[in-house]
Structure 1
Amino acid sequence: MVWRIALVLSFVVSVLGCSPQTKSTNSQAVAQPVRVVMPVVSQTQQLTLSGIVRARTEVELAFEVPGRITQREVQAGALVSEGQALYRLDLRDLQQRLTAQQANLAAAEAALATAEQELQRVQQLRADSLVSESLLDQAQLQQQQAARQVDANRAQLQLAEKALADGVLRAPAAGTVLELRAEQNQVVASGQPVLLFAYAEQTEIEVLLPPLTLQQQGQAVFQQGQVMLADGSRVGARLRELDGAVSASARTLRARYALDQNLSMPLRSVVKIEFADAAEALWQLPLSAIDGRCSEQQAQACEQMQVWQVVDNRAEPLAISVEQITGEYALVRGALSAEMQIIAAGTHLLTRSQAVRVLPQ
């Protein structure tokens, strides 16, 4: 009887020694063998837009006086120097106005001289008490009025001289004639644009940015770029000016880019300008490394795909977004680095902090 009880007790002890808890502990102690790959950075994403070569300052030139154009001195596209004549008006009316003002000034100066002589005579008579005080005041008033008339006529003469000089439209600085908007024998009004002029200074690139693209990429992407030239070379460009409102005609934002060096290209010519994507780099990984499910700990909030990296011999999930699939590889965006060990296959069987053993390559 005793031996039967001992046999039963030994059986119970053996059963308890093989309980599920003990099996689970033993299974967790076994590391899962995995193969890993290193992320490979893909080429930087580029956004290419068209731009127009422009001078930093372009102005419309106009006569400050009305008249009929008698001569056009330049052709469109001409390089001109400061002060060079561009257009000439019929100067006969302006010359006659100047002659009349010169005559008016001469008459006013003669009247002033007469008034001063009269004032001196009355002052002498008043000193001898031969005339009244009121007569002296009247002589002084006439002299002051004659002096003011001289000043007024002198100012009118200066305006007439300026008008005669303005009858010739001259280049305000060295630059280029972009467009001609008036021809010989055409009558123009004061302030009517007759020529579009570009100052000879550093050239710029004008780019029309779609607001949606600017919003999606972020303004930081468009702070600097590279202008591609016909010979394959590139010139750096930095954002100098960005309109604060969308244009009513094109529904775009006008941006001006200053160049690191002047372009030897005609103004208004079209060039390509590249902008580098300022977001995280794209990384190339095998499709088998992409885990489309979320880990148990992230199941409530996970909205992205993930990969698994080996950290201290344990598997840890890392959220990524797949941007493009090419063959057996995927271009992903995320907080990756070239030194990371990414589990290459079997990711759907992994759990957070699971012990893993990296197999030799």
Structure 2
Amino acid sequence: MPALKAFRLPTLVLVAMTLLLCACSKPADKTEDIRPVRTMVLSANSVDVSAEYSGDVRPRIESKLGFQVGGKITARRVDVGASVKRGQVLMQLDPQDLRLGQEQASASLRAAETSRDLAKADAKRYQELRVKNFVSQAVIDAKMAAFMAAQANVDAAQAGYRGQANQAGYATLVADADGVVTAVDAEVGQVVAPGVPVVKVARAGEKEIVIGVPEDKVEQLRKIEDVSVRLWATPGVVIPGKVREVAPVADPATRTYQFKVAIPTAEPDVKLGQTAQVLFSASSATPRISVPLSALNQERNVTSVWVVQNNVVKLVPVTIGGVAGNDVLLIAGVSPGQTVVTAGANLLKNGQKVRLLADPLAPPAAAAAPGGAPK
């Protein structure tokens, strides 16, 4: 038992000395978090504003053709992609009912002409009797009125006959202009109503490019006159374009506004449906500040940049005014001469100290020669 107490005493002394040393030691100094960032000094310059959108080649005029009368389709003469000429037959209806209607109108016309001829002869006889004073003038007036009524019936019957003849001609659907068939919406045996489109024909001639533009770029791009078009099939060929039409209402599905860009100088081998790139280019009228996309910070629908002052960063909201190549144009929030972070901004917070990294694109400093003189 005395031996156990002798063993515990040195242990307790060692523990007490350890606690005393820990209490007397100073706490370790905290190292300040200084993050390295890459920066740039803002400057205002005249820049080229450009925007590029994808679209497809479409005809300037595309007609949806349909029969002017109803009936059953008995023949289809064209397929999708077929080239057609003006007056070429596209489809035909069963003409039987229309022919019967034409024959009925013809019979009504002959009956009206017979009645007119009889009224005319009757009026002539009574005029001869009037000369001999056998009848009164009132009888002559009645006979002349009957003749004029009969003539009016003939005129009406003639108009009805001509209309029915046109109806019979409407049983054949023909192309109203040279072009290409882009769609066929009815087949043989189908009964169609008057005016229902059955064939779609794209007129030969001028073509255009149709693109969708975001609503915040509509007014800016509407004023740009330097428009060029490149086809995906022939990227080396540049076709001058011109904005012909801007949709007044946004597309309900994409929420973009449709631009129609005319290409009047396009070669005939430009095919409908080809993919095209439309490039809008313009030089800004006033100097603009441009920054790379990596300098922007997006949070809660607010776009900001990190401004560096005395090696301390501050988040400053900015307003974007367009794009210039791979850079973004800023029109409000910052001014020339300020320094903004362009890389390393994802982990920053307001008031944080930073260390500026050297710009890799800056020219290297001249190496010093022995003796302190530059080489």
| TM-score of the aligned structures, taking structure 1 as reference length | 0.66
Q: Secondary structure at the match of 1:157?
A: helix
Is the alpha carbon distance of 1:41 and 1:303 closer, same or farther for their aligned partners in structure 2, counting shifts above 3 Å? closer
In 2: Cα distance, 1:321 partner to 1:126 partner? 116
CA gap of 1:102–1:196, structure 2 versus 1, over 3 A, is same
Instruction: Compare the two structures and name the one with the higher helix fraction.
Output: 1
Q: Is the 8 A contact 1:122 1:136 kept in 2?
A: yes
Query: d(CA) in 2 for partners of 1:202 and 1:251?
Result: 28
Structure 1 162/322 Cα, relative in aligned 2: closer, same or farther at 3 Å? farther
3-state secondary structure, aligned to 1:169: strand
Within 5 Å, give how 1:221-236 maps onto structure 2. 221=224, 223-229=225-231, 230-231=233-234, 232-236=236-240
1:310-353 deviations in Å (ceiling 9; x for gaps): xxxxxxxxxx897978x8389xxxxxxxxxxxxxxxxxxxxxxx
Give the number of equivalent residue pairs. 267
Q: Which residue of 1 aligns with 2:25?
A: none
Q: Does 1:219 align with 2:249?
A: no
CA contact (8 A) 2:70 2:193 kept: yes
TM-score of the superposed pair, with normalisation by structure 2: 0.64
- Residue identity in the other structure for 1:274: L
Q: What is the deviation of 1:154?
A: 0.5
Instruction: Give the whole-Å Cα distance in 2 for the aligned partners of 1:149 and 1:283.
Output: 83
Residue segments in structure 2 that go unaligned for 5+ positions in a row = 1-42, 292-306, 310-331, 344-357, 362-375
State the secondary structure of the residue aligned to 1:60.
strand
1:149 corresponds to which residue?
153
Amino acid at match of 2:227: G
What percentage of aligned pairs have identical amino acids? 28
Query: How does 1:1-361 map onto structure 2 within 5 Å?
Result: 44-214=48-218, 217=220, 219-221=222-224, 223-229=225-231, 230-231=233-234, 232-263=236-267, 264-279=269-284, 304-307=334-337, 328=359
CA deviation vs aligned residue, 1:178-208 (integer Å, no higher than 9, x gap): 1000000100000111011111121111112
Q: Is the CA contact (8 Å cut-off) linking 1:61 and 1:196 kept in structure 2?
A: yes
Determine the C-alpha separation between the residues in 2 that align with 1:281 and 1:50.
29
Bigger shift: residues 145-154 or 94-103: 94-103
Partners of 1:47 and 1:275 within 8 A in 2:
yes
Q: Decide whether the 8 Å contact of 1:284 with 1:329 is kept in 2.
A: no
| Secondary structure, aligned partner of 1:76 | coil
SS in structure 2 of the partner of residue 306 of structure 1: coil
C-alpha displacement of 1:146? 0.6
On the 8 A contact 2:211/2:260 being kept in 1, the answer is yes
Unaligned stretches of 5+ in structure 1? Answer: 1-38, 286-290, 294-301, 308-319, 331-361
Distance between the aligned counterparts of 1:173 and 1:272, measured in 2?
29
Question: In the alignment, what sits opposite 1:343?
Answer: none
Taking the aligned partners of 2:339 and 2:61, their CA distance within structure 1 comes to 45
Is contact 2:226-2:282 (8 Å) kept? no
Deviations 1:118-164 (A, max 9, x none): 11111111121111222112111110111011100100111111111
By how many angstroms is 1:251 displaced?
2.1
Describe the SS at the equivalent of 1:113. helix
Distance in 2 between the 1:44 and 1:99 partners?
72
Q: Is the 8 A contact 2:63 2:202 kept in 1?
A: yes
- Whether contact under 8 Å (1:305, 1:321) holds in the other structure is no
Amino acid at match of 1:265: V
Distance 1:194 1:262, change over 3 A: same
Structure 1 position 249, deviation (Å): 3.6
C-alpha RMSD of matched pairs (Å): 3.2
Distance 1:323 1:46, change over 3 A: farther
Partners of 2:103 and 2:339 in 1: CA distance: 82
CA–CA separation in structure 2 for the residues paired with 1:60 and 1:323: 57
How far did 1:268 drift?
2.3
2:222 and 2:243 in contact (8 A); partners too: no
Shift of 1:292: 6.5
CA offsets, 1:221-253, max 9 Å, x none? Answer: 4x4421112222110110111122223343221
Contact 1:44 1:281 in 2 (8 A): no
Is this contact kept in 2: 1:207–1:255, CA < 8 A? yes
Cα distance in structure 1, aligned partners of 2:88 and 2:221: 46
Paired residue secondary structure (2:113): helix
Cα distance in 2 between the residues matched to 1:303 and 1:82: 61
